[in-house]
Structure 1
Amino acid sequence: MPDDFDLGIASDQLLVGDAISKGAKALPDSNSPRLDARVLLKFALQTDDAGLIGRSRERLSEQEIERFAHLIRRRQKGEPVAYITGVKEFWSLEFAVDQSVLIPREDSECLIETVLARRQRTENLRIADLGTGSGCLICALISEFPQAQGVAVDLSPAAVKTARTNAAKNALADRIEILEGSWTEPLRGQFDVIIANPPYISDEEAKELSDDVIDYEPSSALLGGHDGLDPYRVILREINDKLTSDGLLVFECGYRQTDALAQLVRDFDGNYPVFTINDLSGRPRGVGLDRRKGQKKD
């Protein structure tokens, strides 16, 4: 076994429970080494949490050790766990992911919570998702609004294919149309909710990205121009006739960008209050505007 992941124990003596600890020890550069090792071991053994617990005192076979070691080596090189396993959970749904799309982040769930807080689940909504990537946002929303219909747009043909796979994977393909194109260009008609998580990393912030992000995730879905706000400017120029008169607009952005983005949204429509969205840690994560009756400023 290569020196970069030496289990340090005979193959016929390695227990499942010990493998997690040894895998974690081999990942000192990870922010979550034990979680990474656990997820990769489950993938190597093709089991779930219950199966892993049930086998905790069992010995790994030689083939299982080889599979696990191979996965750990990939993670040691910086490859994200989600790309190694090909799946990522978001909003309790499972999504197929590859290097054509960003890995769904838990922080983005605050966008779903924002829509749920401002619209009733029973409403017959038309929802658009701009720059859908894996389709995690539109799938999460449509799963929560049983009467809603969704349209998702992405410029990347590979991302469109992945999003369609995920809509079908989550039994939502009959209520989500996924189109190839630039921002609002493919949209027809008006929408009650428009949500977007566009590229928003500025040129300066790009220098701070970790290697596992910049080396593996698609730059076209990350980089938003000099100040990171170029995609929002394009969307806001195009969106006025796409959002209904009582529609809800929800953007994700970086925590340093909320003030500047809020001003762009006010310039787009100054008749209604603009609000900031915080993520699970309380950090600013987005900006929204709600045209619903009763929200208009005096």
Structure 2
Amino acid sequence: MADALPAALGPLLRAARERLAAAGIADPQLDSRLIVEHLSGTTRTQAIAEPDRIVDVAALAAIEAALRRRVAGEPVHRILGHREFYGLRLSLSPETLEPRPDTETLVDAVLPFARAMAEIVGECRILDLGTGTGAIALALLSAVPAATATGTDISSGALATATRNATELGLAERFKALQSNWFEKVSGRYHVIAANPPYIPSRDIRNLQDEVRDFDPRQALDGGADGLVPYRIIAGEAEGFLEAQGKIAVEIGHTQRNEVAEIFTAARYRLAGAYRDLGGNDRVLMFER
């Protein structure tokens, strides 16, 4: 049983940080701050200016429960129930992949084209395959007011989360959630087809970080025997849904550039751009006819 948490904000933050550090958490300072601030309704400024501020008993109980979950290995954003992506606060659920900064590379890659298309033709229709939280589609909609997006997912729970996020961000009128196994229920043509598909080879799932393996949904991770099955589906079926001047943008595993490029080349696409994430790893490929 852990010692009772201090009630004053400054000592509370220190105690939470020390507890996470002792448990071997990678970034105890950030995680303790996120937990304490969120559950106590305080800010970083208040922690600095008002370290003696008293945190009420209910908040202390919630912080204690959250620290226990974090020490047990649950990711901090799963505990909080939300994560920021491209400046947007997105709710999470057990059925959704936790959106990560690497995927912002895909939004950066697509955005100039989406803006240009909206300016030239007055709209940009986006198809986000495997939308999860809606992260990619909603980030693009927030940046391109003339854009509309359809987000597909095989999981009804993920689609409910994406719809909730669209509503909370004021983007619901331009976002449509569609339950579909890839292109199965999709209709119409799109200027942008985007996807962060499952790309981990099945045999490698067990080697992932505990926080990913144990808390992200497996169907959002498992890309089949070689991790490339979703790319074959997208390359093989996208033609009927892509506008003549449209682009396909996919996130990839950092070792998959050549294999994914070959899959799309064989399907008569041309590589239109390759983009690296902040760590310098190959992360996004863009294709066109």
Task: Confirm or deny a common fold (TM above 0.5).
Answer: yes
Q: Which amino acid aligns with 2:37?
A: K
Looking at structure 2, the residues matched to 45 and 128 of structure 1 have their Cα atoms a distance apart, in angstroms, of 39
> Cα distance, 1:161 vs. partner?
0.6
Q: How many corresponding residue pairs?
A: 283
Query: Is the deviation greater in 47-56 or in 112-121?
Result: 47-56
Contact 1:262–1:274 (Cα < 8 Å) also in 2 = no
**Which of 20, 27, 38 in structure 1 is aligned with 2:33?**
38
Looking at structure 2, the residues matched to 118 and 263 of structure 1 have their Cα atoms a distance apart, in angstroms, of 23
> Cα distance, 1:268 vs. partner?
1.6
Looking at structure 2, the residues matched to 35 and 215 of structure 1 have their Cα atoms a distance apart, in angstroms, of 21
**Structure 1: gaps spanning 5 or more residues:** 292-298
Looking at structure 1, the residues matched to 46 and 268 of structure 2 have their Cα atoms a distance apart, in angstroms, of 53
Contact 1:90–1:106 (Cα < 8 Å) also in 2 = yes
**Which of 60, 70, 75 in structure 2 is aligned with 1:65?**
60
**Which of 271, 283, 286 in structure 1 is aligned with 2:284?**
286
Change (3 A) 1:116 1:57: same
The percentage of aligned residue pairs carrying the same residue is 33
> Cα distance, 1:52 vs. partner?
4.1
Report SS of the residue matched to 2:199. coil
**Which of 95, 100, 109 in structure 2 is aligned with 1:105?**
100
Looking at structure 2, the residues matched to 158 and 80 of structure 1 have their Cα atoms a distance apart, in angstroms, of 20
**Which of 115, 120, 145 in structure 2 is aligned with 1:120?**
115
Contact 2:261–2:271 (Cα < 8 Å) also in 1 = no
1:110-137 superposed Cα distances (whole Å, 9 cap, x missing partner): 1110012334354311110000000011
Which residue does the alignment assign to 1:22? Answer: 15
Query: Is the deviation greater in 47-56 or in 250-259?
Result: 47-56
1:136-156 superposed Cα distances (whole Å, 9 cap, x missing partner): 110000111111111110000
Looking at structure 2, the residues matched to 267 and 133 of structure 1 have their Cα atoms a distance apart, in angstroms, of 28
Which residue does the alignment assign to 2:210? Answer: 211
Change (3 A) 1:68 1:204: same
1:63-115 superposed Cα distances (whole Å, 9 cap, x missing partner): 43332121100101111111111111101111110211011101100111001
Q: Does 1:273 align with 2:268?
A: no
Change (3 A) 1:97 1:261: same
Q: Which amino acid aligns with 1:68?
A: I
Looking at structure 2, the residues matched to 286 and 227 of structure 1 have their Cα atoms a distance apart, in angstroms, of 18
Looking at structure 2, the residues matched to 64 and 120 of structure 1 have their Cα atoms a distance apart, in angstroms, of 44
Contact 1:262–1:275 (Cα < 8 Å) also in 2 = no
Which residue does the alignment assign to 1:226? Answer: 225
Query: Is the deviation greater in 129-138 or in 47-56?
Result: 47-56
Looking at structure 1, the residues matched to 204 and 99 of structure 2 have their Cα atoms a distance apart, in angstroms, of 19
Which residue does the alignment assign to 1:187? Answer: 186
Report SS of the residue matched to 1:228. coil
Looking at structure 1, the residues matched to 216 and 230 of structure 2 have their Cα atoms a distance apart, in angstroms, of 18
1:175-231 superposed Cα distances (whole Å, 9 cap, x missing partner): 011101111122211100010011111134323211121111110111111111111
Which residue does the alignment assign to 2:135? Answer: 136
Looking at structure 2, the residues matched to 148 and 118 of structure 1 have their Cα atoms a distance apart, in angstroms, of 11
> Cα distance, 1:56 vs. partner?
2.7
Q: CA RMSD in A?
A: 1.8
Looking at structure 2, the residues matched to 49 and 263 of structure 1 have their Cα atoms a distance apart, in angstroms, of 48
> Cα distance, 1:256 vs. partner?
1.1
1:17-60 superposed Cα distances (whole Å, 9 cap, x missing partner): 23222212222332211111001001220234444444333243
* TM-score under structure 1 length normalisation: 0.89
